Amino acid sequence: MEACACGNRPVRKGLAHSLPPDPSEIFAVVLTLMNAPEIFVGRQPVLDRAQKLIAFELLFRAGRTPSAGAIEDTHATANVIANSFSGLGLNRVLEGHRAFINFSTEMLMSDVVDVLPRDRVILEILETVEINVQVVERISELKQRGFSLALDDVVGARPELKALHGLIDVIKLDLKQISPDALPDLVAHFKTWPVRVLAEKIDDQRQVRQCMDLGIDMFQGYYFARPEVIAGKHLDASKAALLRLLTFVLSDASDHKIEEELKRHPHLCFNLMRIVNSVGCGTGNTVTSVRQCLVILGRRQFQRWVQLLLYASRNVDIAANPLLHTAAVRARLMELLAQKLGQADSGREDRAFMVGILSLLDVVLGMPMEEIVAELPLEAEVKRALTGRTGWEGKLLTVIETKEADNFNMLEEAVQELDGITLDELTAADWDAVAWADQLAGA
């Protein structure tokens, strides 16, 4: 772990396993999408003996500055996980490599671990974690479940570390706190363990030579690379929406009810699909609906991610965004028109809604649509509709965009290409879609 000028650390609270519903709370169903503020994750390379990149340590960053600043451990880790998995996308952050992620006691004992892909992350236990019976039992459980674990900032062979023999996969030695004379004996001690030894905070060539001579397996430090800051746009979910979703999950609401709530919040739909793609918990099939995302992710995993997003989200004032209203109208209108076509393809309505709800994310996020759909496990038809306006869904989206532009001369010609929808039906469905969106917005 990098140095952090945190001063006196406040009392920390772990993630709640559940939040009881509050019947007196009236959750406002607000159709909103903010101009997404930037989010940041730091990453520092971890190299092998051939100086080949094999992993990154992911670090909290509040901006484009090289240091983390003062922040409490649990909050920092929650933000790193949320930003990497559902904000920026794990594939973009890791580029196919593994991630070291810092874990405090609270995070280690929490259910957040359950949503992490075991083949992509190494749980890095911070030096502030007290090695007691409960922690050893938890580490043993995670080891049995297939997780890899690292011990951070080791500076000596403390007696209590013996309890972790056979449970830890990586020992990270803090070279800033270990003298060159003491390093050989310390490395020799841990070489008797079934672990790989990683030297961190390497600053010069002399340290590299000594570590190579001692047979150290992995290397990390400013000598090789300073942490790089990755920035992206983030849609911060409203706490009201997250609390409502969490209440539904805890009360064992139907998938249909959860799906309907998610459809009210396109930013959560977007994050959900990113999560399904990042954690790789699907079967390799493309996602065609919100409900399919819920099935692939599973109730337990979905609940953990809602809790994490709720824990990591910031208190912000959320104002209605007309772009989101337009996206909601588009989605509902495309869904209604798909119903009118009466095709045997039962998934067409879901695909139509998804194309409509995602169709303005490039404007909101300030990202090319090609980059957005590249991160999402969408069907080829949906991707082509969003990026090239081709296929049935693409033609329908073109019709709606033509209608929005009040280009009546081109609208009639565009509608004819749909083969089954008349201008009168389009107008009637448009009224219904606007009324639906207005109802969601509380208008």
213-268: pLDDT as tens digits: 999 999 999 998 888 887 766 544 455 677 677 678 767 888 888 888 887 777 77
* Whether residue 185 is found in the same domain as residue 88: yes
CA 60 to chain centroid: 14
Please tell me the total count of domains within the chain. Answer: 2
| Cα–Cα nearest to 355, from 332, 324, 325, 321 | 332
Q: Check: CB of residue 2 under 8 Å from CB of residue 68.
A: yes
Q: If 0-12 CB within 10 Å is exposed, 13-18 middle and 19+ buried, where does residue 138 land?
A: middle
* Whether residue 67 is found in the same domain as residue 205: yes
| Cα–Cα nearest to 122, from 152, 155, 91, 92 | 152
The residue-averaged pLDDT of 102-130 equals 88
- Domain assignment present for residue 11? The answer is no
Q: Check: CB of residue 229 under 8 Å from CB of residue 41.
A: yes
The residue-averaged pLDDT of 72-81 equals 77
- The larger pLDDT score, comparing residue 87 to residue 99, is at 99
Most confident of 52-66, 224-238, 315-329: 52-66
- Residue 19 corresponds to which amino acid? L
pLDDT band (50, 70, 90) for residue 280: low
What is the reported pLDDT for 92? 78
Domain end marker among 206, 232, 258 = 232
pLDDT at 185 over 60: yes
CATH for 339: 1.10.3210.10
Three-class SS of residue 40? Answer: strand
Q: Residue 426 corresponds to which tokens in the numbers above?
A: 């389009």
134-166: pLDDT as tens digits: 999 999 999 999 999 999 999 999 999 999 999
* Whether residue 211 is found in the same domain as residue 276: no
**Alpha-carbon separation of residue 249 from 26, 115, 268 (angstroms):** 17, 16, 15
* Whether residue 115 is found in the same domain as residue 68: yes
Average pLDDT, the chain: 76
Three-class SS of residue 412? Answer: helix
How far is it, in rounded angstroms, from Cα 403 to Cα 411?
6
Q: Residue 23 corresponds to which tokens in the numbers above?
A: 């019947």
- The larger pLDDT score, comparing residue 39 to residue 296, is at 296
Range of the domain at 337: 21-36+235-443
What is the reported pLDDT for 57? 94
* Whether residue 126 is found in the same domain as residue 179: yes
User: Which of 37-46, 110-119, 414-423 shows the lowest mean pLDDT across its residues?
Assistant: 414-423
Distance from first CA to last CA of the chain, Å, rounded?
49
- Domain assignment present for residue 13? The answer is no
pLDDT at 289 over 90: no
Domain end marker among 197, 232, 267 = 232
* Whether residue 200 is found in the same domain as residue 240: no
How far is it, in rounded angstroms, from Cα 343 to Cα 290?
20
Phi-psi region of 212 (alpha: psi -120 to 50; beta: other; left: phi over 0): alpha
Percent of the chain with pLDDT over 90: 28
How far is it, in rounded angstroms, from Cα 59 to Cα 57?
6
* Whether residue 144 is found in the same domain as residue 250: no
CB atoms inside a 10 Å sphere around CB 43: 24
Q: State pTM to two decimals.
A: 0.55
Most confident of 77-86, 108-117, 191-200: 191-200
Domain end marker among 185, 214, 232 = 232
- Domain assignment present for residue 166? The answer is yes
Residue 72 carries which DSSP code?
Answer: -
Packing angle between helix 290-297 and helix 266-279, nearest 10 degrees? 40
Q: Check: CB of residue 264 under 8 Å from CB of residue 440.
A: yes
The residue-averaged pLDDT of 400-411 equals 80
- Residue 15 corresponds to which amino acid? L
* Whether residue 119 is found in the same domain as residue 182: yes
- Name 294's Cβ contacts closer than 8 Å, sequence gap at least 6: 255, 258, 259, 272, 302
* Whether residue 140 is found in the same domain as residue 176: yes
Q: Check: CB of residue 171 under 8 Å from CB of residue 181.
A: no
Half-sphere exposure of 440 (CA within 13 A, CB side): 25
How far is it, in rounded angstroms, from Cα 413 to Cα 6?
64
